[in-house]
Chain A
């Protein structure tokens, strides 16, 4: 990271949209993205970006972002919860399903949008947790 202006930070990363994998520099200030600059030394894009890669980043700071876990209450409504409560509920639910229906009753769907580390964790979760290959990603639809 190089400081281009005293309060602006530059972070080299890869576009999060399609599979071309364009390199870009995220310009940030006060923990917000203020601009995207295409990377001329990006091997996939050589300085080019499309309208999505160049401009469609403001969703990161959108007020609709999920900022805390949600857990469904007794009346069927999603309610704000602590991480501890939500993770416990998530874990207990999978253990209950396995106990009632067996280890082939739990399925994992990994994302084509997340980093590989998330995908690796998803498949490891299913394989170590249940001893099955009941894992897929979203590439079939």
Chain B
């Protein structure tokens, strides 16, 4: 996030797009509710009439995958209505004149023709966002999990740059990160393009710096992404070490994913349960869980916080850092004989300019948000206050593209996927929590009543849903939360493996999969439960739901 979580209580206008915050980030949503109680206005753009949409002053029901068009239409209106912040544009940005030219044709009527949102509502949203003093944008994977995820984010930045909504309280462009330490994973250098602290690997100075620290010269060329690595399994990639990811259930195109992992000569998985992914491994190593380990998590506002061991690890389980260090030492690597998490974190801080001002002991307080460039620096709750990292903020000349697959006669409905409040990701954890299972015992397909009637489905009955990659059987829930023509399911349940269906494409720059758009066909069936019916290989021997108690 460009701004701290505390700023969520401060905007005059809140613009939420592609975020189901009350379910996926419920505690952050409580802070937005405080802003609303204070009188802030909220615009929500989402294909589904989610809870946040019900709370909004203005709800824009966009067609899945049409975000860029909506945002370009809004930018057109902001320019046309002279709502741009002239001083901010003049002193902090570049490319404004080209942007104005670029936006000529991107009228609200043009945006309506793509998004399905009436032009008058697009105008209203643009004027509301553009005329407020403090407007903040919040987004989640509904923006990034598209083939045009980068254009979506750039289009959001255009709006904030046009209106001067950066670097001040209650403003900004704020992605909500989904996992407890997904920010820390990037910070720590677990990326094919960056060393720790986002230092590019293709910079020779960085290569030299890390050669000195690590005693080994690392390629100047970027590595490949996980998406590409999975494509190359058995044809270039033959060994893989996976730590704490249930790739088989979370990734798109499950059949492809299982085939890829089975093509490896050597797969080692570190995890706390025998996940569907671990079941494919040659070696499975038991990790200490969240409550059993010391370390640091970095949250969505870049805050570094200590996680502390409260109980001893189950059985012989060991901390992930210890396990990885042991493998390394047995391969003859030097520099891996750490005796605790402390020197590891301190090494990360020493090598990362954004962490240069802290160490393990200073991180104890949980008060630091990076960048913390030197000792004594208080941290940076709000980015871009005086200038952008590269000096000026650059406008992007984005354009709308269709999703990788669009609906047709064979696959006439849009499927969009997401999260539910009571489950977390592939349920390896929440699926083993009794009370949570009472709240959410099974997956359902959310279908608008008129679509249900059209396709012969009924509430509580079963549907077989097919895409170009496979099929799953799922119980039907009729609801007006889904718009006509679009159905929704989460990917959380291994016995309703929605990611058998997804995998139509990914963003060419980030390689983030288009998990939010998948054309499907649905039909009524008498009795469901055939796992991945129609998909040739779905190997889910132990869905977590079967392990936690009697069937419901």
Q: Which residues of A contact B (CB under 8 A)?
A: 9, 11-23, 26, 28, 31-33, 43-45, 48-53, 55-62, 64-72, 78, 83, 86-98, 100-101, 104-129, 131-141
Smallest Cβ-Cβ distance to B298: which chain A residue: A116
The answer to the question of B321 belonging to the interface, with a C-beta cut-off of 8 Å to chain A, is yes
Cβ–Cβ contact A43 & B295, under 8 A: no
Shortest distance from the beta carbon of A115 to any chain B beta carbon, whole Å: 3
Q: Is B450 an interface residue when CB atoms closer than 8 A count as contact?
A: no
**Interface-central residue, A44, A48, A61, A119, by most chain B CB under 10 Å:** A119
Contact A141 B515 (CB under 8 A): yes
Residues of A within 8 A of B439 (CB): 51
Measured CB to CB, the closest approach of chain A to B499, in angstroms, equals 9
Q: Within residues 237 to 282 of chain B, which ones have a CB less than 8 A from any CB in chain A?
A: 237-245, 247, 250-252, 265-266, 268, 271-274, 278-279, 281-282
What are 21 A-to-B residue pairs whose CB atoms are below 8 Å?
A: A11-B309, A19-B178, A52-B422, A65-B289, A71-B282, A78-B284, A83-B318, A87-B330, A90-B330, A93-B283, A94-B241, A97-B238, A108-B243, A115-B341, A116-B185, A116-B187, A116-B297, A120-B347, A122-B243, A126-B241, A131-B217
- Residues of A contacting B190 in the complex (Cβ-Cβ under 8 angstroms): 108, 110, 119-120, 122-123, 135-137
Q: B309: shortest Cβ distance to chain A, in Å?
A: 7
Task: Decide: B316 and A58 in contact? CB cutoff 8 A.
Answer: no
Interface residues on B, range: 35 or more
Residues of A contacting B214 in the complex (Cβ-Cβ under 8 angstroms): 124, 127-128
Q: Is the CB of B223 within 8 A of A135?
A: yes
Q: How far is the CA of A141 from the CA of B327 in the complex (A)?
A: 27
Whether A119 and B291, one on each chain, are in contact in the complex, defined by CB atoms closer than 8 angstroms, is no
Indicate whether A64 sits within 8 Å of B274 (C-beta atoms), given known contacts A128-B215, A138-B250.
yes
Partner of B300 from A20, A48, A95, A115 at Cβ < 8 Å: A20
Residues of B contacting A104 in the complex (Cβ-Cβ under 8 angstroms): 236
What does DSSP make chain A's interface, helix, strand, loop or mixed? mixed
Q: Is B396 an interface residue (CB 8 A)?
A: no
Q: Contact at B291–A115, with CB atoms within 8 Å? A: no
**Interface-forming stretch among B77-85, B400-408, B430-438, B455-463?**
B430-438
User: Hey, which chain B residues are within 8 Å of A70, CB to CB?
Assistant: 274, 281, 283-284
Contacts of A111 in B (CB 8 A): 181, 185, 243-245, 320
Q: Does B286 contact A (CB under 8 A)?
A: yes
| A97–B238 CA distance with the chains assembled, in angstroms | 6
Given contacts A72-B282, A86-B283, A133-B219, whether A18 and B178 have CB atoms under 8 Å apart is: yes
Which of B127-135, B191-199, B474-482 forms contacts with chain A?
Answer: B191-199
Collect the chain B residues with CB atoms within 8 Å of residue A14's CB.
180, 297, 299, 305-307, 366
Q: Which residues of B contact A (CB under 8 A)?
A: 5-6, 24-28, 30, 176-193, 195-196, 201, 210, 214-219, 221-227, 229, 236-245, 247, 250-252, 265-266, 268, 271-274, 278-279, 281-287, 289-301, 303-312, 314-321, 323-328, 330-331, 333-336, 341, 344-345, 347-348, 366-367, 421-422, 424, 428-436, 439, 506, 510-513, 515, 544, 547-548
Instruction: Report the minimal beta-carbon distance from A98 to chain B, rounded to whole angstroms.
Output: 8
B310 and A11 within 8 A (CB): yes
Interchain CB contact under 8 A, B303 and A43:
yes
Q: How far is the CB of A53 from chain B (nearest CB, A)?
A: 7
| Residues of chain B lying within 8 A (CB to CB) of residue A64 | 273-274, 432, 544, 547
- Which residues of A have CB within 8 Å of B345? 116-117, 120
Given A43-B366, A124-B336, output 13 extra A-B contacts at Cβ < 8 Å: A17-B429, A18-B25, A21-B180, A55-B436, A65-B315, A72-B281, A88-B330, A91-B327, A115-B293, A124-B214, A127-B189, A127-B216, A135-B192
- A15 cross-chain contacts in B, Cβ below 8 A: 180
Pair B314/A19 contact, Cβ less than 8 Å: no
| B432 pairs with A118, CB closer than 8 A | no
Cβ B27 vs Cβ A50 within 8 A: yes
Nearest Cβ on chain A to B173's Cβ, whole angstroms: 16
**Nearest residue, chain A, Cβ from B279:** A78
A106 and B286 alpha carbons, distance in the complex (Å): 21
Which residues of the other chain, B, contact A95 by a CB distance below 8 angstroms?
331
Q: Which residues of B contact A114 (CB under 8 A)?
A: 181, 185, 243-244, 287, 295, 320
